[in-house]
Structure 1
Amino acid sequence: MAWDTDATQARLLDAAISEFSERGFSGARIHEISRRSGCNKERIYFYFGNKAKLFEAALTRELGSALDDVPIKGSGPQAVADFAGRYFDFVTSHPNLARLTSWEGLERGYPVGAEKRAIHSALKVSEIRGALPRISEAVAEDLLLTIITLCHAWMSNPNVHLVITGTPNQDRRRSAILRTSELLARDASDCS
């Protein structure tokens, strides 16, 4: 029987994403990823080389999916706000992404898979500039960074909103991100 390489790699990445998002890079265990995936540890080393490269592949896949699966539709500040809302929806339905990026920042000290991730980010910056043609690349980069940070914070810093607002209210947070993103996009367009 032929070995399904793509399916095996996907199972390993799914298991790695869960393990790394729960325990971070340092706390994650290869034997646990092996158990979760139903694959032996040797497959992990065969496909990914080591734990650091597996973490890089997991985070790169999650972030690439997020930026690729949530296009900016239309033009103007409302299009950017709509993107922010849909990105928030993606992040809340894929909470591992925000957790992985938090662990990366806390434990790794540098962005893993930076070249591949930069390509995805540059494409999203181009989409923002398409929606807001008068803004510079630097302003579009700042806008994207702000939107991603606002959306990820809901998942990666759950205690902050408990202290400030009491009971978490996802709809309220989404509305605030939409308003903020539209105001920032409008201001960026007006100042250009």
Structure 2
Amino acid sequence: MSRSDATRARLLEAATEEFSRYGIAGARVDRIAAAAQANKNLIYVYYTNKETLFRAVFEAHVVRLLDEVPFTVADLPGYAGLLYDFFRANPRLLRLAGWFRLEQGDYDEALTEIAKSNGEKVAAIARAQADGWIDDRYPPEVVLTLVLATAAAWGSGNPVTVPTYDEPDPKIVRAAIEAAVRGVVVGKDSAA
């Protein structure tokens, strides 16, 4: 890895931490540069401004999620479980997504990639419903939204998660997520 690439990687990592904590408005390029052990001016050289840096961070994490958590229409409960595992291992992603929605909701490139991925998932669910593999009580868009929301429900920053002093056993949470999704995708008359 070249020195320039190493500096960019450090800047992205430091920016990921900063943006996940403070969002774009609250993030400070001085803190990002200090955490990355880089000259603040390099942020502007590589990324032009703070908003472009945020977008680079967000895109990197969205691409990573899409690459690392394969969508399997044949096993939506398992997919939800994998998403839960990914969100547990990468808690900053859900915080970044929250900041993105609040502060950058009109960012077309990232939204296009997300919409394309979700469109493919919805189409796969619709085909599985037409073939009788997934219950068709709910439209495919609703099914996908329930899968994603259920998997993300225990993510950091979720305002509706029931706070406890002891974090619930992740195995139990994952089993509950998978059971909830199974209840949506497998009809009540199904033996599965």
Q: Which interval holds the TM-score relative to the shorter structure?
A: 0.7 to 0.9
Deviation at 1:21, TM superposition (A): 0.7
Deviation at 1:128, TM superposition (A): 4.6
The alignment's C-alpha RMSD in Å is 2.9
Is 1:84–1:178's contact at 8 Å kept on the other side of the alignment? yes
Q: Does 1:30 align with 2:34?
A: no
Q: Does 1:185 align with 2:162?
A: no
Pair 37,157 (structure 1): closer, same or farther in 2 beyond 3 Å? same
Identity of matched residues, %: 31
Q: Does 1:119 align with 2:116?
A: yes
Instruction: State the distance in 1 between where 2:175 and 2:66 align.
Output: 20
Structure 2, unaligned runs of 5 or more: none
Deviation at 1:142, TM superposition (A): 3.0
Secondary structure of the 1:25 match is: helix
How high is the TM-score relative to the length of structure 1? 0.78
Is 1:30–1:51's contact at 8 Å kept on the other side of the alignment? yes
Q: Aligned partner of 1:157: which letter? A: N
**Cross-structure match for 1:87:** 83
Deviation at 1:104, TM superposition (A): 2.3
Instruction: State the distance in 2 between where 1:64 and 1:133 align.
Output: 30
Instruction: State the distance in 1 between where 2:129 and 2:117 align.
Output: 19
Deviation at 1:125, TM superposition (A): 4.0
How high is the TM-score relative to the length of structure 2? 0.78
Instruction: State the distance in 2 between where 1:35 and 1:130 align.
Output: 50
Is 2:15–2:54's contact at 8 Å kept on the other side of the alignment? yes
**Cross-structure match for 1:96:** 92
**Cross-structure match for 1:157:** 158
Where do residues 169-184 of structure 1 align in structure 2 (5 Å cutoff)? 169=168, 170-184=170-184
Instruction: State the distance in 2 between where 1:143 and 1:31 align.
Output: 43
The structure richer in helix per residue is 1
Deviation at 1:72, TM superposition (A): 3.0
**Cross-structure match for 1:16:** 15
Among candidates 93, 96, 105, match of residue 110 of structure 1:
105
Pair 10,109 (structure 1): closer, same or farther in 2 beyond 3 Å? closer
Instruction: State the distance in 2 between where 1:125 and 1:37 align.
Output: 39
Structure 1, unaligned runs of 5 or more: none
Secondary structure of the 1:6 match is: helix
Is 2:73–2:121's contact at 8 Å kept on the other side of the alignment? no
Instruction: State the distance in 1 between where 2:13 and 2:88 align.
Output: 17
**Cross-structure match for 1:62:** 61
Instruction: State the distance in 1 between where 2:37 and 2:126 align.
Output: 44
Instruction: State the distance in 2 between where 1:133 and 1:63 align.
Output: 29
Deviation at 1:29, TM superposition (A): 0.7
Pair 144,19 (structure 1): closer, same or farther in 2 beyond 3 Å? same
